[in-house]
Amino acid sequence: MLKSLMAKPGSLFSLLLAALCLCNHFLDYSLALQLSQLGDEFSWLTDEDDEVAVVQTRRDSQKSCDLSTGKWVFDQSYPLYDSNCPYLSTAVTCQRNGRPDSNYEKWRWMPQSCSLPRFDALRFLGKMRNRRIMLVGDSIMRNQWESLVCLVQGVIPTGRKTVSYNGPSMAFHALDFGTSIEFSWAPLLVELKKGLDNKRILHLDMIEGNAKYWRGVDVLVFDSAHWWTHSEKWSSWDYYMEGNSVIRNMNPMVAYEKGLATWAKWVDLNLDPRRTRVIFRSMSPRHNRENGWKCYNQKKPLLFFSHQHIPEQLMILQEVLRKMRFPVHLQDITSLSALRRDGHPSVYKKAMNQEERQNPTATGHSSDCSHWCLPGVPDTWNEMLSALL
């Protein structure tokens, strides 16, 4: 009887068998649909291998996208804010200080192998909602902090933003986002203290006095280079100290490596990469040759370098980062910024009267070829920073 039912096409047995297969197929589909609706909580049940592949692809993509190689292109849609931003220091508001040209504000960095997104203040604040980002370093890092604050503050109502101070740190707060954008003064990262006879001692193996302000921050951006290379006349210390040893003379680059090693050890021991993102920004180039007048009256970026020079500080930094356990991202801004000798304040680092403006080189003004006019080059550093985040 069973054999005869199975043998007949369209028989009751065939219909039952087809219905059973259809039911099983429906149940499989229903289960898959339920799993997909549960979201990420159970995604590892079916997509573990795919998830790993996606992460690896994302990492490979970041490695292949070299934001530091490219060219400057003139873009009339820039700058992204004007020099009336209330958070700018007088020394970097070159337009207000009388600089006659403004094209230095309109150059956009275009990477060679990928695109650099235009800075989007609301998107940045959304990514940093209920988080703290702190820029740690010298006055050029302060330069970058002012740029970042000016890039975001325009989208925040007047009564919903404020600035607070805590020791060597200051913070801009976007209240509706719970976001704070902070700057902490630590140009050498390690501690500089007064000793006997009021002598200034640079402690190459001490950092906690500065680092205590870095704890609890979600994104830390570091920079330290310029103060290590000041000539003896302008040096900020009289002696080095390491352990109990006081040292009068030391190769500045040896001292720099020791100071960075102390910083690296602190990061490795005190920060959790699951909670904190760490970025180290490479040194900002100076155009100080010819007694600081190399950048005066420059109106265009360089198109290329006659010879490529890698600063010794950058090579030391790369080696220190390579030895660390903590994954620190190196943000390389040195070469792209070296093309912008037109972007410095030069003599326009303070307000000038009419007579001074007519002949700025004959009035005893010095020329600042280290810091940057704002709006200007540090805005590009922050576009890169936003892309990294």
**What's the pLDDT at 21?**
44
Residue of 123, 174, 114, 172 whose CA lies nearest to 147: 172
Evaluate whether residue 28 is within a structural domain. no
Alpha carbons 54 and 58: distance in angstroms, whole number: 6
Of 14, 102, 139, 169, which one is the catalytic site residue? 139
Alpha carbons 279 and 229: distance in angstroms, whole number: 22
Alpha carbons 235 and 249: distance in angstroms, whole number: 12
**What's the pLDDT at 293?**
64
3 against 122, higher pLDDT: 122
51 pLDDT more than 70: no
Return the beta strands (E) in the chain as ranges.
70-74, 107-111, 132-137, 161-166, 169-174, 179-185, 191-194, 200-203, 219-222, 239-242, 245-247, 277-281, 329-331
140 pLDDT more than 60: yes
As a whole number, mean pLDDT of residues 103-120 equals 95
Question: Which of the four pLDDT bands, split at 50, 70 and 90, describes residue 23?
Answer: very low
239 pLDDT more than 60: yes
Evaluate whether residue 156 is within a structural domain. yes
Evaluate whether residue 298 is within a structural domain. yes
Of 138, 223, 368, 379, which one is the catalytic site residue? 368
**What's the pLDDT at 259?**
97
Evaluate whether residue 18 is within a structural domain. no
Place of tokens 């190196």: 330
As a whole number, mean pLDDT of residues 194-210 equals 92
Q: Which two tokens stand for residue 103?
A: 């094209």
**What's the pLDDT at 160?**
97
237 against 379, higher pLDDT: 379
Alpha carbons 194 and 239: distance in angstroms, whole number: 10
**What's the pLDDT at 237?**
86
The DSSP call for residue 208 is: H
Alpha carbons 131 and 111: distance in angstroms, whole number: 29
337 is known as an active-site residue? no
**What's the pLDDT at 60?**
41
Evaluate whether residue 150 is within a structural domain. yes
How are strands ordered across the β-sheet holding 245-247?
Answer: 191-194, 200-203, 239-242, 245-247
**What's the pLDDT at 234?**
67
Alpha carbons 14 and 11: distance in angstroms, whole number: 5
136 pLDDT more than 80: yes
17 pLDDT more than 80: no
Of 172-176, 195-199, 222-226, 296-300, the range with the lowest mean pLDDT is 195-199
Evaluate whether residue 44 is within a structural domain. no
Model confidence over 298-323: pLDDT tens digits? 999 998 876 667 789 999 999 999 99
Percent of the chain with pLDDT over 90: 64
**What's the pLDDT at 85?**
96
Of 63-67, 104-108, 370-374, the range with the lowest mean pLDDT is 63-67
Alpha carbons 74 and 107: distance in angstroms, whole number: 5
Q: Which domain holds residue 362?
A: 80-388
Strand partners, 331: 281
**What's the pLDDT at 364?**
63
Alpha carbons 45 and 378: distance in angstroms, whole number: 45
Evaluate whether residue 253 is within a structural domain. yes
Evaluate whether residue 14 is within a structural domain. no
Of 173, 203, 226, 371, which one is the catalytic site residue? 371
330 burial via Cβ count (<10 Å: 0-12, 13-18, 19+): middle
Do residues 149 and 155 touch, judged by C-beta distance below 8 A?
Answer: no
Do residues 179 and 125 touch, judged by C-beta distance below 8 A?
Answer: yes
Of 95-99, 121-125, 184-188, 274-278, the range with the lowest mean pLDDT is 95-99
112 pLDDT more than 50: yes
375's CB contacts (< 8 A; 6+ apart) are 78, 79, 80, 81, 82, 83, 105, 147, 150
* Pair type for strands 329-331 and 132-137: unpaired
**What's the pLDDT at 367?**
85
As a whole number, mean pLDDT of residues 145-166 equals 97
Average pLDDT score, the chain = 83
Of 223-237, 327-341, 368-382, the range with the lowest mean pLDDT is 223-237
User: Residue 251 belongs to a domain with what CATH number?
Assistant: 3.40.50.1110
**What's the pLDDT at 362?**
66
371 is known as an active-site residue? yes
**Diameter over CA atoms, the chain:** 116
Number of structural domains the chain divides into: 1
Alpha carbons 329 and 89: distance in angstroms, whole number: 29
217 burial via Cβ count (<10 Å: 0-12, 13-18, 19+): buried
Alpha carbons 320 and 189: distance in angstroms, whole number: 14
**What's the pLDDT at 155?**
97
**What's the pLDDT at 335?**
92
139 is known as an active-site residue? yes
Alpha carbons 236 and 133: distance in angstroms, whole number: 28
